[in-house]
Amino acid sequence: MQYAVYGGTLRSELPFPELPTTTGSSNWLLEVRRDAPPVTNQAVQLGHRRVGVEEYTLLRHQAGYRLTYQHAGTFDITPATGTIRWHPIADAPPELARAIVLGPALALLLELDGRFCLHGSCVVAGAEAIAFVGPKHFGKSTLSLALTAAGCRFVSDDTVAIEPGPPTRVHPAVPSMRLWNDTVENLPAGALFGSIERGIKVTASGLAPGVLADRPARLGAIYEIVPVLDGADRAPVERRRLGAAAAAVALSHHRKLPDDLVGLEHAAAQLRRAVSVAASVPVWQLMVPRSWARIDDVVETLIAWHQPVRSPATPGQPAQ
């Protein structure tokens, strides 16, 4: 099966029900192997992380990279061919493998191919894309869902793969979202997505036709979310543009692949890319009250900031 994702095509032995199918030549190949991972020569550990109960490690060797997850198995990544070989452990959950492939595995291949990947959400508002970054629970997915419900087109959630310019662009990614229960209760997720699966977080997939962005879009702004307390004298949303140095630091801080996993050499290359993106795309701090009562005003303000600029019409010609 072949799937469209991140502006390319993934050919896979593992089904990805959250992705649209496509045809043509493939950029990446996912194989599911039943044998043990081969012995690697001259392997160097780049990083090791623990997130909750999950531990994962990234190695670099002569043929490429090896990403190992405690509860999923081993993913051998070969950049030269765009191949990911998954050696699962017994009873490895397929949904965990899909999340790893669509997250860190493809993010690594994308970055090695020149992209810059942020941990965030993104929509197209007007003629340009806007992305939201921030730590967990700061409202990235909530803002993207609210904007999509208001008529914007959905680009991605969790990973925003940026193609540095000029022009700086983003491609449609994974048409699904993981949302907290209160977001689903307060926003019309059921009207936009065909499938709502409840768990610790709600997985919403199957976007309605016309809701998903279907082509690359110029990236017009990146917002670093800063939640603030609501108050009667506070505007529904405020923004403050970051200077070049602060913007590059902020983007580096919100990269999809953290330094302690990919190692200092890769991190340094991505810092240079962060500087390049910050030089071409405005990066703002976005002060948003944590109040459902203000969400409509927040959405209205954001859309107004990013409507296409129209020039006055001249006699006999339409406005541009």
Domain assignment of residue 315, yes or no? no
Q: Residue 297 has which token pair?
A: 């005003």
Residues 107 and 212 in one domain: no
pLDDT of residue 252: 94
* Selected residue with higher pLDDT from 191 and 247: 247
Task: Say if CB 267 and CB 218 are below 8 A apart.
Answer: no
Domain assignment of residue 314, yes or no? no
Which DSSP string do the residues of 290-301 spell out, in sequence order? S-GGGHHHHHHH
Residues 92 and 136 in one domain: no
- At which of 78, 96, 112 does a domain end? 112
Separation CA 268–CA 175 (nearest Å): 31
User: Can you state the angle between helices 140-149 and 295-305, rounded to 10 degrees?
Assistant: 80
Residues 192 and 227 in one domain: yes
Domain assignment of residue 310, yes or no? no
Domain assignment of residue 311, yes or no? no
Of the candidates 269, 277, 228, 268, which has an alpha carbon nearest to the alpha carbon of residue 250? 277
Residues 25 and 124 in one domain: no
Residues 80 and 206 in one domain: no
What's the N-to-C CA distance of the chain in angstroms?
43
Residues 252 and 148 in one domain: yes
User: Per mean pLDDT, which range of 9-13, 144-148, 168-172, 196-200 is the poorest?
Assistant: 196-200
Residues 122 and 265 in one domain: yes
Residue whose token pair is 């690594």: 108
Distance from chain centroid for Cα 167: 19
State residue 55 phi and psi, 5-degree precision: -115, 140
- What's the pLDDT tens digit per position in 15-42? 998 888 999 899 999 999 999 999 887 8
Q: Residue 229 has which token pair?
A: 């307390």
- What's the pLDDT tens digit per position in 214-242? 899 999 999 999 988 877 677 889 999 99
Residues 155 and 96 in one domain: no
Domain assignment of residue 155, yes or no? yes
Q: CA 116, 111, 123, 288: dihedral to nearest 10 degrees?
A: -50
pLDDT of residue 308: 58
- At which of 66, 81, 112 does a domain end? 112
Residues 218 and 299 in one domain: yes
- At which of 112, 129, 162 does a domain end? 112
Separation CA 3–CA 93 (nearest Å): 20
- What's the pLDDT tens digit per position in 105-160? 999 999 999 999 999 999 999 889 999 999 888 889 999 999 999 999 999 998 99
Residues 179 and 203 in one domain: yes
Residue whose token pair is 């890319």: 273
- Strand, coil or helix: 235: coil
- Strand, coil or helix: 243: coil
Domain assignment of residue 99, yes or no? yes
Contacts of 90 (CB under 8 A, 6+ apart): none
Residues 136 and 243 in one domain: yes
Task: Say if CB 119 and CB 255 are below 8 A apart.
Answer: yes
Domain assignment of residue 318, yes or no? no
Residues 122 and 235 in one domain: yes
Q: Which domain holds residue 40?
A: 2-112
Count structural domains, the chain: 2
The CATH number given to whatever domain includes residue 228 is 3.40.50
Contacts of 107 (CB under 8 A, 6+ apart): 117, 159, 161, 256, 257
User: Can you state the angle between helices 244-253 and 264-280, rounded to 10 degrees?
Assistant: 130
Single pTM value for the model: 0.89
Domain assignment of residue 74, yes or no? yes
